[in-house]
Amino acid sequence: MTTLAALGGPAVGAFNPPPWPQASQATLDALRDVVRSGRWSLSGAWQDGPSAEARFAAAFARFTGVPHCVPTTNGTSALVIALEALDVGPGDEVIIPGLTWVANATTVRAVAATPVMADIDPATLCLSPAAVEAAITPRTRAIVAVHLYSSVADLDAILAIGARHNVPVIEDCAQAHGAAWRGRRVGSWGAAGTFSMQQTKLLTAGEGGAVVCSDDLLHDRLYQLRSDGRRSKACPARGEMELVMDSSITGTNYCLSELGAAVLGEQLTLLAEQNHHRARTADSVDKLLFSAEGVEPIQTPLQVTGRTYYYYTLRIHPDAFGGAHAATVCRALAAETGIPFQPTYPPLYRHPLYQPSTKRRYAMPEAVSDGPPGGLPEVERAYREVITFHHSVLLAEGDALSHLPKAIDKVQCAPAELRQLEAEGIDFTNPL
């Protein structure tokens, strides 16, 4: 075998991921219309009809299968107002997975509550119901079930635990726009569902977010928390403010701009076909790798009736790669294929971006351990053994990835060179 491409050898193949985000002409037209309208913000004067924000909220609520949607500036603010709307605060605990983006912990601390990190199910990489049950205490005020990478957390089991202990479940659907569990879209099962529309997400406006729910009172509370405590006026006259002051709740300005809402409204019309394309390509990759030694695509529960792919995920068998860490294998495969492989997020309690001691407002009144001594076994194993690549790769045709099995074989046959790469250290870099 020739030298690994990461060490200067020839690559097995080349791949250029399709561009992401993708802007349609309708998206550009919608942006132009907002720019010319004179209303760039929800707090701008009413013009001749509902705001772009209100139109997107209605469309996304229909898409998710719930009555209500409150758009926000980003996924982080969506999580914050969901926690606030459920009255999570000082002295409370919130159970979150130990494998997820840092916002799941920082948002809990932002409302002065304590994040309690629980282990994951190795089959799905999502929050383990058994770990949730073990983590419940009298102080537990919410459970955040994150639908991660290309799977869905076991909603049947987690919702049953929440109901048994009278603890609401928030679905974090930042990576699962359009996924479905037993015929219903994710986000519609819990007390609230939160979404991110950040640059790399399946549905994006560069930034943006949303909270969806079915409860009328919760929706009213979410709306005010997002709008500086203001409510929407039913029938404003042209030139009047749509948002009117109220004295019920102190909120924060997390309103999505009209520009972002216009982009999201048009991008939403493309999402179903893009998700279908990704799923079709992912199926082709699964078949390509069916007989490949040492790798195994992450599967999803049978209850998932609509699978989405934020990241395509593979578990490697370390022995097949000379015991190399997943991050090292990612570096080698990326160099061989041009496919932007990445490891999973680092365990949350060791994530370099999670440093709560650097913010005084995150200080707890008592010593709190975010992660158990020794870590969470399945979270640690996933970081050592799981490799991923971004959904933009899946917007290519399946045969564009036909060189992947050969690249995997080449990397497996170079354990000494993998050890050389490993000695250079593990890169924590990972996009959202």
**Per-residue pLDDT, 86:** 98
Closest residue by Cα to residue 74 from 190, 205, 258 = 205
Q: What is the CATH number of domain 25-268?
A: 3.40.640.10
Q: Are 187 and 195 in contact (CB under 8 A)?
A: yes
Beta bridge partners of 114: 93
**Per-residue pLDDT, 370:** 65
Q: Are 276 and 151 in contact (CB under 8 A)?
A: no
**Per-residue pLDDT, 428:** 57
Diameter of the chain measured on Cα atoms: 74
**Per-residue pLDDT, 398:** 75
Query: Roughly what angle, to the nearest 10 degrees, separates helices 75-85 and 103-110?
Result: 40
Give the list of residues 6+ apart from residue 392 with CB closer than 8 angstroms, or none: 17, 18, 19, 20
**Per-residue pLDDT, 388:** 98
Residues of the chain with CATH 3.90.1150.10: 271-423
Q: In whole angstroms, what is the distance from residue 86 CA to residue 111 CA? A: 11
Tens digits of residue pLDDT in 147-166: 999 999 999 999 999 999 99
Tens digits of residue pLDDT in 74-85: 999 999 999 999
CATH of 271-423, one of 3.90.1150.10, 3.30.2000.10, 1.10.630.10, 3.30.1490.20: 3.90.1150.10
Q: Are 418 and 322 in contact (CB under 8 A)?
A: yes
**Per-residue pLDDT, 432:** 55
- Burial label for 334, CB within 10 Å (0-12, 13-18, 19+), is buried
Q: Which residues of the chain have pLDDT under 70?
A: 1, 364-370, 426-432
**Per-residue pLDDT, 367:** 45
Residues of the chain with CATH 3.40.640.10: 25-268
Q: In whole angstroms, what is the distance from residue 40 CA to residue 257 CA? A: 6
**Per-residue pLDDT, 357:** 87
Q: In whole angstroms, what is the distance from residue 197 CA to residue 265 CA? A: 12
Q: Please state the pTM of the whole predicted model.
A: 0.95
